[in-house]
Amino acid sequence: MLLVLPTLQGPDRVDSRRGHLVVEMDRTTYGIGELVRFSLYNGKGDAIFLACSAPWVVSRAIEGEWRWVEDHPCEGGAIPLESGATYAASWRSETQNASASLVPVEPGYYRLDVIAFPCPETWDGCRFVDLPAFFWIR
């Protein structure tokens, strides 16, 4: 039995991201030293707010725990991401020696967390939304 489902094309096509905050990555596997590109799409009906210009962190799974592999400044105040807009960024998968609390970048399973807020008062009474995405470094 062959089941054929109609697909919508053109302006009537339904975007599966509508109504959601979606973290997207260009790939699921990277090599050490490669550029990891990612984006956050706001499919909600209202703006959301990013805590700063780089509201994300990268961690590696080590013995059942997520350990940070990078540290960067989170500069500026709340940045609106309007409905239908995309925030794009990247991270070079290299070991940083900025802090003794960071673990080295080695082959393994990684987690990218993008942090957003539903209101502009990011540090005063507004709960954050942690949006994870997962990838491998081989």
Q: How far apart are CA 23 and CA 114, in angstroms?
A: 8
Q: How far apart are CA 86 and CA 25, in angstroms?
A: 12
Output the pLDDT for position 2. 42
- CA-nearest of 35, 50, 59 to 113 is 59
Tens digits of residue pLDDT in 95-116: 987 788 899 999 999 999 999 9
Q: What's the pTM value of the predicted model, to 2 decimals?
A: 0.82
Q: Which domains does the chain have, with CATH numbers?
A: 18-137 (2.60.40)
- CA-nearest of 77, 92, 81 to 123 is 77
Quick one: 121 exposed, middle or buried, by C-beta within 10 A (0-12, 13-18, 19+)? exposed
pLDDT over threshold 70, residue 124 = no
What does pLDDT average to over the chain?
Answer: 86
Q: What is the mean pLDDT of residues 118-131?
A: 76
- Do 118 and 129 form a contact (C-beta atoms < 8 A)? yes
